[in-house]
Amino acid sequence: MIKLKIDHKFVEVEKGTTIYHAAKKLDIDIPILCYMNLEHLDIENKPGGCRICVVEVEGRRNLAPSCSTKVDEGMVVRTNSMRVINARRTVMEFILSDHPKECLTCSKSGGCDLQDLAQQLGVREIPNEETCEMSTYRLDTSPSIIRNLDKCIMCRRCEMMCNEVQTVGALSAIHRGFEAAVGTAFEMNLEASTCTYCGQCVAVCPTAALTEVDHTPQVIRAIADPKKTVIVQTAPAVRAALGEEFGMEAGTLVTGEMVTALRNLGFDHVFDTDFAADLTIMEEGTELLGRLKKHLAGDKNVKLPMLTSCCPGWVNFFETQFPDMKDIPSTARSPQQMFGPIAKTYFADKLGIKREDMVVVSIMPCLAKKYEAQRDEFKVDGNPDVDFSITTRELAHLIKQANMDIKKLDKSDFDQPMGESSGAGVIFGTTGGVIEAALRTAYEIHTGKNLEKVDFDQLRGMEGIREATVDFDGLDLKIGIAHGLGNARKLLEDIRDGKSHYHAIEIMACPGGCIGGGGQPQHHGDSAILKKRAAALYREDAGKPIRKSHENPAIKELYETFLGEPMSEKAHHLLHTHYFDRKRKRNIGV
């Protein structure tokens, strides 16, 4: 143990601890900007580049960055001497010297780490501002993410997420000196790169350098158009995080309040993506049982393990990086993309309206969903199955614009029939949830027996890669789970090398699953927040009268009156998809 003094107080910490963490133990919050600790992923971003966290160490000539300076025995540290405070303010003035001063209209205003820190440090003017040259990097807009590098402060958190956590490798630090930026290879558009739109870069960006494409203006226009019937679906993870944008404790469920808010905003029908999640289980579960049956009958050509396909970031990942394995994932569309075509056929018929007069909006914890909704295969004569996909954060903005506060709203229920869902649909929002939901249904169909205990505790948790063996009445079903694309890559490489022994694997692109999605309120690396959101979804599941997808009466009716049975021709047409080889094409002539 190492003993040192910080701001006149003694503290004892383990060897190798940084000054920043030693100070934390004393409840001293040293301001940070580039530093980010993702404890749950065992990954730390500490380029030591921003110098905001500098402290004074007695006997040292220079100030030390506390995020990357380790403690020494007998060290005497001051985190708030005049010298430190002045240095921090000067550093901030430098950072702001080439940063656009458009806070009033910036999309990140109010939720910007840089703005908060400038405020905390009392920066009131930028010396010699008139001589400061502004960065003029071109704006890069993709279907999901906007890169505005003029606002980049080179904290490199996005680079860490893209490379170390997700192993996507779309972003890297490029150039040097004043030209330094975080960019793509050859500065191509994000759209042309290996980006999966998982949005984890956006989730950690301290400024508005990386933001989602804002689709709220289009949603408002649709609601205001009297000729349009506007339908909204809400993904499971949204209800477990939306409250945070209104100052509520993480893990507070605001399902009923959210429904009220959406109805007040003017949506004609407020439905639940959980309904479509139940539908996904019917299709995906049936597909899994079909592949299993063939496998058990000795069919060598059957593709196992079957991989889940409800995460569009994950779909983008294997299409760009593992296109040779594109026939392994389930062909079932994601819940968002199952909801769209059912709304625009089955429900539009019920209402007696034309497809073109219906607008389907989805509220998602996700940025990849924006891209997914725009994919050509999910359009009929140019009309998309899902018109606009907005994030949890965008919904919070809409609610605030309409001077509502989630905390003060009454609860209300989703509309019928597409608002009806089981507990299985709810847990889609967390890692392990999709496969648990699938097993609840697959078990009963496969064994013909009633599943007594619906909670598969062995599938739950936050470990990056998990596995479990589930007894399917004598058949040992081997299940793998990965969340975070870096973990997914490991399981995929095992499959490619013939080392995988699983029957089914659930993959979600974001750490934690959708609850940690790129469209959720920023968690600043606090893993406790993710755990609370997951617990909230399991709580909602446990409180539901129906907890198995195939028992959802609205789903039963949909099959009886419209689809026929799972994997029927109609179901195939509306609810399944195919994948593409989207490996970045190189220009190599041989």
- Using the rule CB under 8 A, give the single segment among 2-10, 73-81, 167-175, 478-486 that binds another protein: 167-175
Q: Is 586 in the site for another protein (CB under 8 A)?
A: yes
Of 284, 420, 436, 540, catalytic: 284
Q: How far is the CB of 587 from another protein (least distance, A)?
A: 6
Q: Which of 17, 37, 148, 194 binds another protein (CB under 8 A)?
A: 194
3-class SS of residue 227: coil
Q: Is 310 a catalytic residue?
A: yes
* Backbone phi and psi for residue 273, each to the nearest 5 degrees, phi listed first: -60, -25
Q: How far is the CB of 174 from another protein (least distance, A)?
A: 5
Q: Is 369 a catalytic residue?
A: yes
Q: How far is the CB of 486 from another protein (least distance, A)?
A: 13
Yes or no: say if 517 and 364 are a contact pair by the CB < 8 Å rule: yes
- What tokens were used for 218? 């289009």
Measured from the CB atom, the residue of 463 and 494 that comes closer to another protein is 494
Residues with Cβ within 8 Å of 586's Cβ and at least 6 positions away in sequence, in order, are: none
Q: Is 496 in the site for another protein (CB under 8 A)?
A: no
Q: Is 372 a catalytic residue?
A: yes
> Exposure string (b/e) for 204-235, b if CB count within 10 Å is 16 or more?
bbbbbbbbbbebbeebeebbeeeebbbbbbbb
Q: How far is the CB of 32 from another protein (least distance, A)?
A: 24
Q: Is 56 a catalytic residue?
A: no
Yes or no: say if 55 and 79 are a contact pair by the CB < 8 Å rule: yes
Q: Is 184 in the site for another protein (CB under 8 A)?
A: yes
Q: Which of 132, 174, 445, 554 binds another protein (CB under 8 A)?
A: 174
- Using the rule CB under 8 A, give the single segment among 18-26, 474-482, 539-547, 582-590 that binds another protein: 582-590
Q: How far is the CB of 160 from another protein (least distance, A)?
A: 13
Of 46, 514, 531, 532, catalytic: 514
Q: How many CB atoms lie within 10 A of CB 546?
A: 17
Measured from the CB atom, the residue of 168 and 358 that comes closer to another protein is 168
* Backbone phi and psi for residue 183, each to the nearest 5 degrees, phi listed first: -145, -175
Bin 449: left if φ > 0, else alpha if -120 < ψ < 50, else beta.
beta
Q: How far is the CB of 363 from another protein (least distance, A)?
A: 32
Q: Is 590 in the site for another protein (CB under 8 A)?
A: yes
Residue with tokens 């990097």: 137
Asked if the peptide bond before residue 127 counts as cis, ω within 30 degrees of 0, the response is no
Q: Is 377 a catalytic residue?
A: yes
Yes or no: say if 148 and 142 are a contact pair by the CB < 8 Å rule: no
Q: Which of 47, 111, 143, 169 binds another protein (CB under 8 A)?
A: 169
Q: Across 430-581, where does the E strand assignment appear?
A: 465-472, 475-483, 504-508
Side-chain-side CA neighbours of 587 within 13 Å: the count stands at: 0
Of 34, 67, 155, 310, catalytic: 310
Q: Across 144-289, where does the E strand assignment appear?
A: 145-147, 172-174, 181-183, 210-212, 229-234, 269-272
Q: Is 366 a catalytic residue?
A: no
- Using the rule CB under 8 A, give the single segment among 87-95, 186-194, 336-344, 375-383 that binds another protein: 186-194
- What tokens were used for 395? 């919904």
Of 66, 330, 334, 422, catalytic: 330
Which spans of this chain sit near another protein (rule: CB under 8 A)?
Answer: 163, 168-176, 183-188, 193-194, 586-590
